[in-house]
Structure 1
Amino acid sequence: MSGAVAASGDDPLLLDRQVCFPLYAATNLLGRLYGPVLKPLGLTYPQYLVMLVLWEEEPQTVGSLGTRLYLDSGTLTPLLKRMEQAGHISRSRDPEDERRVMIALTEQGRALRAKALHVPETIAGGRSAEGLDALRDGVRQLVTMLADPAGQR
């Protein structure tokens, strides 16, 4: 068996017993699902998430975007630079605190919202709203649990 240990049903290292694997697989599958839907909008999935936050409320600081999206500034900054180059957002220093970078939508970014209205329905693919709401709420509870430092023992 080339070094592999025979797994029993109570083996803690079985792939099917891991919480991380279905989340990893779901993330990959969601990326594949969203990719073709977002491509005509000129957005990647992480850029779409940024746009969703900004369509709710703008301007936002880089820090508040990072907190909302669970992204660190090292990941977010290059993403925002590409979005600025594409004409979707503007970045500027906060006049009240030069250390903070403010992110706002451009007119092009605001107009993109109307073009993106079909995305949720397209992704839902005819699945029941109630089922998707329940799934989202359950996953949100998991995110809250994982993000809670007290929960990380």
Structure 2
Amino acid sequence: MEKPTKLDQQLCFEVYKASSNFSKMYAKALEPFNLTFTQYLVLLVLWDEDKLLTKNIGERLGLGTGTLNPILNRMIERGRLIKQQSETDKRAFVISLTEKAKSEQLAVEQAVFEKVTSCNFMGVNAIALMKNLKELNAAFKTMDL
């Protein structure tokens, strides 16, 4: 049996590897739709609540405008989103779904569901893991990072 290394004993490393593996898994599921993982997350936010300000999308995803704007612009170019100036604040923009994005929701969700279930995470309590990760992220919010 190999002796565990310091790296193997780091929670941050396991979270990093899991995050990387999730990104790869989702990339495979989203490839037929020409979507990136981050674009999928934007769609999830808007499928939940359409017509949001750019800053609200960024807040929900934990992304700054410098990161989010190129993602939104690519999605606009590909016909998934519409960007309109806010009527109440001329400096802000409202992002909304196109009919294309609305119509592909079920197919995208089905592809992701099939990929996730095909991985067959035997022995992983997803509900407990999600709860623990939410608690961890809530603790990070209280820190001065």
Same fold (TM over 0.5): yes
Aligned residue in 1 for 2:127: 133
Alpha-carbon distance in structure 2 between the residues aligned to 1:100 and 1:131 = 41
Paired residues of 1:66 and 1:72 also in contact (CA < 8 A)? yes
Aligned residue in 2 for 1:62: 54
Q: CA deviation at 1:100?
A: 0.9
The aligned amino acid for 1:120 is F
Paired residues of 2:83 and 2:93 also in contact (CA < 8 A)? yes
Structural RMSD (CA): 2.2
| TM-score, normalised relative to structure 2 | 0.86
Q: How many residues align?
A: 140
| TM-score, normalised relative to structure 1 | 0.82
Which ranges of structure 1 fall in alignment gaps of 5 or more residues? 1-8
Aligned residue in 1 for 2:88: 96
Q: More deviation in 77-86 or 22-31? A: 22-31
Instruction: Between the two structures, name the one with larger relative contact order (CA 8 Å, sep ≥ 6).
Output: 2
1:143 paired to 2:143: no
Q: Decide whether aligned partners of structure 1 residues 124 and 143 sit closer, same or farther in structure 2, where only a CA change above 3 A counts.
A: farther
**Higher Rg of the two aligned structures:** 1
- Percent of pairs with identical residues: 32
Which ranges of structure 2 fall in alignment gaps of 5 or more residues? none
Q: CA deviation at 1:131?
A: 2.0
Once the two structures are superposed, the pairs formed by residues 4-153 of structure 1 within 5 Å of their partners are 14-118=6-110, 119-125=112-118, 126-127=120-121, 131-146=125-140, 148=141, 150-152=142-144
Helix, strand or coil at the partner of 1:99: coil
Helix, strand or coil at the partner of 2:93: strand
Q: CA deviation at 1:115?
A: 1.0
The aligned amino acid for 1:122 is K
Q: CA deviation at 1:134?
A: 1.9
Alpha-carbon distance in structure 2 between the residues aligned to 1:57 and 1:100 = 17
